[in-house]
Chain A
Amino acid sequence: MSGLPILSILVFLPVVAAILCLVLPDRGEGAGPARIVALVASLVALALAILLLIDFPPGAQGLRYEERASWIPAIGASYHLGVDGLNVLLVFLTALLTPVALLASWDAMGRSPRLFSAFLLLLEGTVIGALTALDLVLYFVFWEAMLVPMYLLIATFGGARRGYAALKFFIYTSVGSLLMLVAILYVYFLHSAQNVEVAASFDLADLLATTISPGLQRWLFLAFALAYAIKLPLFPLHTWLPDTYTQAPVTALILATMLVKVGAYSFLRFAIPLFPQASAEILPILAILATIGIVYGGIVSAAQRDMVRLLAFSSLAHLGFIALGLFALDARAIQGSILQMVNHGLSAGALFALVAMIAARVGTFDLAAVGGLARRWPVLTGCFLLAAFSSLGLPGLNGFVGEFLILLGAFRTHPVLATVGTFGVLLAAVYMLRLFVGAMYGPERAPSGAGARASRDLSPRELAALAPLLLLIVWIGVYPAPFLRRTEGAVSQLVTNIAAAREGTPLTIAPPPRDAALTPPEHTR
């Protein structure tokens, strides 16, 4: 496997398959060869991602599977990809959620299955690109490019106000990004001014060696943080999220939740290591916003009638947890955050899929209009129960492990915020149980004229979409060690570097070894 450019394949296989999908014909609603091509491509990508995850040594520090090539030599931008403990799980998760999203949308792709499949695949490719890019121009290209397929998904297949939602989504999330571009350029010139003897470079490893005064760091960090805070989103920059989620095609959201995780991951990869002193200063303030997001998202979520809107605000609360863990700058909390990103992808992915499956049967997302579905569809109910419990953090399931680690770590640095955050767990129980009980129990209610499938429980295709998610929900809940160990090395390295910078010792962040992919795996437990 060492000779295979596995990351490039993960980025470009979906893109090539997407182009193929675009030229295949549509055969009317819910037909045509495009989605089969898309599914096969996404399964191949998933197989590669699983290999990557298995092959990634637990506890390893430094980057693996690095790929470098010259790209725009005139400005020093290069094609540079790599994975380490910070992103390997997320790459796997993206590759997993794509076939799930395709299966869940199988006959809900509207007028044009080929466009739907193509946009999903493009989203996968660009998200994996943004997750693995280690050159800041390349990263920015993917970061902005991943908005385009999402935008097109909303604009083409979205709800009644899709035009407005698509525009708001795109403009809101790119405003912050553009300031990040200016900050990237600023760091780039600082670096080339400090290292006149070497060629200018946008490579992260090179830019990390730049000395930046604390005052300047503050501004540059804010420019990066604004982009990520909007993407994440942090309260009060979250207003695009409910509009986007309610107007987007619900099954596309299974994958779209990855967009926000790229924002969270980017804090760890770029903003914090590049500006350690400023992070130490500013992150506690952002942690307050994250905590507000937990509580606010929970309360608003509990008041929603629309199931998708409820899940959108619950995502806000979950992302608040993830952010709180990141901003605690504690090894355990950060590991918890990374794991919680995976957990949120699994549970939110499963819930969005299930809500879409319910809506396909009863024709509405209105929680007040449905009830007592448990009697009709026991299997669907069972799956829903598992996903909802995972989302509210029941011990024994994955959500508990992540939230526990986050709170454990956060208590050491922000005891007050962690306490407030704990109440967020209670709120999660309120809104999740309200959703679950409201839809599944009580008097049997479903709008008349429900679809022809109203009588049927989950089909094998729907089960196939849910099974991997539910399996992982239980697996991570019972035995999270294989996942946690893979994040360990990178996180401890990161935290050590930050601590050194905070104590005011001269910044000696060693750039990751250039030939890390070639060195034999270090000691593994």
Chain B
Amino acid sequence: MEIAPPPFDLGAIAPFLIVAVGAMIALLADLFIPPARRPALGYFALGTTLVAIGACVWLWGGAVPRLAFANMIAVDRFGLFVTIVTLIGAALSILLSVDFLQEQRLGYGEYFPLMLFTVSGMILLAFANDLITFFIALEILSLGLYILAGSARGRAVSQESAIKYFLLGSFSFGFLVYGTSLIYGATGTTNFTALRVALEGSGLTDNPLLLAGLALVLVGFAFKLALAPFHMWTPDVYSGAPTAVTAFMSVGTKVATFAALLRLVTGALPALYADWSNALFALAIVTMILGNLAAITQRNIKRMLAYSSIGQAGYVLVAVVASDTTQPGVNDAAQSSVLFYLLAYTFMNLGAFAVVVALARPDDERLDLDRDYAGLARRQPLLAAAMAVFMLSLGGIPLTAGFMGKLLVFRAAIEAGYWPLAVVGVLTSAVALAFYLRVVVRMYAGESRHAEERPARVPVPLAVVLAVCLVATIQFGILPAIPLDAARGALTITAP
């Protein structure tokens, strides 16, 4: 039997290739660059992500949607939009890291190459049109993150974080693989497009094997996305990892994994809408409530942001639940709000982490809300003002991107008939204000404990990150039409 190799459409995966090749070059270059020059690697990595963004823009205008590599890759605007968001997050995280690594004496080593490899995994995840591709992409992304989480070699918490992440990550892979095998057993395919065709009008939708497979895959996703009650690893991993890595992890992973989830459930399994939407409905409610309630008691800013990211994932999930492909109008509103929310979340969350990074000192990461954030407005008014904007945005206060995101998500939920989700969503948003605003209160009303010391100098790359995040957070809150139109233009999940 002769197996014809699929045509190599390398252009289709240009962003992935650029980032992967860039990672390899950076890995090699690291050997030849004297340690003092290593920050240059950071700028090389930044350049790589920018070129990749350029490639995405080029593909956006080109022949999309198309399938490549035996239908295992779907290049469509949905994937490109997510890739661009991921790459923006990566570029900002890289800028965040350049001075942070030096300051915290973490050493450059493989840091930037690993980051690029991770990004390549995220890109592949956004384009994955087959459970196998999806799986490989998730492995690439996770392996890099395990090492990055432990990259503060001298710190026990960082090692603990890496080990926990690794163990829980592997555990969740187990669910995913087993679920995938069950789905394959029931349908004979792992390809999203083929799955969809196989399920349409077949009697398979009640097949226990298929449903068990779906349940296991969803559990795997829930682990990866840190949805309650599968979120237990998140606070430890997020607070143990170096802050720049946490920032990157909390944004990039979520964006790419949500995209993959959305592509799987709406692109491959629309026939099972009733099943997965019920499961995700329950997860969304538990996640919104638990994430936001648990964040209230946190005194460590990184742990608080970890729980906050759990709550934020709950809001995105609300819109995923509402993605009912049988009602095109509803589905468009829901999916575009997922994309918009992910974009807004990228900027506001990275911005918040950028402030945390800016405050860190070599001997002390300055993470205690009561001790280190009190009176910040007097010591560093600009940083405090930026943090206030990010907190208000995460809390969903108008004139910020976070509000528009929530508005779109709740609008989609109500349109799809899920008004209980919207009610739980707004109530938990109000609860969430308690901890987001507490940061602002501490900064503006608290008495400074570090009043005598000189304010930290904010290095230029970090200032750029802060400025970009700040402008985007406010701009998307006041005039959301441009990103929203882009998100609506990206709504063709390929399933020919």
Enumerate chain A interface residues (CB-CB to B < 8 A). 70-75, 111, 137, 140-145, 147-148, 151-152, 155-156, 158, 162-163, 166-167, 170-171, 174-175, 178-179, 181-182, 185-186, 188-189
Contacts and interface: CB of A to CB of B under 8 A. Distances in A.
A156 B407 CA distance: 29
Given A75-B408, A142-B398, A178-B429, A156 B414 contact: no
Nearest to A180: B426
A267 to B, nearest CB: 21
Interface string B464-496: 000000000000000111001100100000000
Residue in A73, A144, A178 with the greatest tally of chain B CB atoms within 10 Å: A178
14 contacts: A74-B336, A74-B488, A141-B403, A142-B398, A145-B399, A152-B440, A155-B444, A156-B444, A166-B441, A166-B445, A167-B437, A167-B438, A182-B423, A182-B426
Contact of A170 (B408, B433, B479, B488): B433
Given A155-B445, A181-B426, A141 B399 contact: yes
Interface in B86-136: none
B392 A74 contact: no
Residue in A147, A156, A182 with the greatest tally of chain B CB atoms within 10 Å: A182
Contacts of B397: 144-145, 147-148
B415 interface: yes
A385 to B, nearest CB: 36
A144 B403 contact: yes
A72 B488 CA distance: 12
Contacts of B410: 181-182, 185
B65 interface: no
Interface of B: 333, 336, 377-378, 388, 392, 397-399, 403-404, 407-408, 410-411, 414-415, 419, 422-423, 426-427, 429-430, 433-434, 437-438, 440-442, 444-446, 479-481, 484-485, 488
A408 B446 CA distance: 50
A139 to B, nearest CB: 10
B426 to A, nearest CB: 4
A170 B437 contact: yes
B437 A151 contact: yes
A120 to B, nearest CB: 16
Residue in B378, B426, B434 with the greatest tally of chain A CB atoms within 10 Å: B426
B427 to A, nearest CB: 7
A406 B408 CA distance: 41
A162 B388 CA distance: 17
Contacts of A74: 336, 481, 484-485, 488
A164 to B, nearest CB: 8
A168 to B, nearest CB: 10
Contacts of A151: 437, 440
Contacts, number: 96
A315 B55 CA distance: 62
Contacts of A166: 437, 441, 445
Nearest to A141: B398
Nearest to B485: A74
A178 B438 CA distance: 19
Contacts of B444: 152, 155-156
A144 B411 CA distance: 17
- Please give me the 9 A-B residue pairs with the lowest Cβ-Cβ distance, nearest first: A178-B426, A141-B398, A163-B445, A155-B444, A163-B441, A144-B398, A175-B430, A155-B445, A185-B414
A248 to B, nearest CB: 12
A170 B441 CA distance: 11
Residue in B403, B411, B422 with the greatest tally of chain A CB atoms within 10 Å: B411
A70 to B, nearest CB: 8
A178 B430 contact: yes
Nearest to B411: A185
A186 B481 contact: no
B434 A73 contact: no
Nearest to B377: A156
A147 B410 CA distance: 21
Nearest to B404: A72
A108 B440 CA distance: 23
A185 B410 CA distance: 8
Contact of A167 (B408, B441, B485): B441
Given A167-B437, A171-B434, A71 B481 contact: yes
B415 A189 contact: yes
Nearest to B417: A189
Contacts of A70: 481
Given A152-B444, A170-B433, A175-B430, 5 more contacts: A72-B484, A74-B481, A144-B397, A152-B440, A188-B411
B433 A163 contact: no
Contacts of A144: 397-398, 403
Nearest to A192: B415
Nearest to A166: B441
A65 B438 CA distance: 41
Nearest to B430: A175
Nearest to B426: A178
Given A74-B484, A74-B485, A171-B433, A182 B422 contact: yes
A290 B438 CA distance: 33
A8 B485 CA distance: 25
A137 B446 CA distance: 34
A155 B441 contact: yes
Contact of B392 (A111, A142, A148, A181): A148
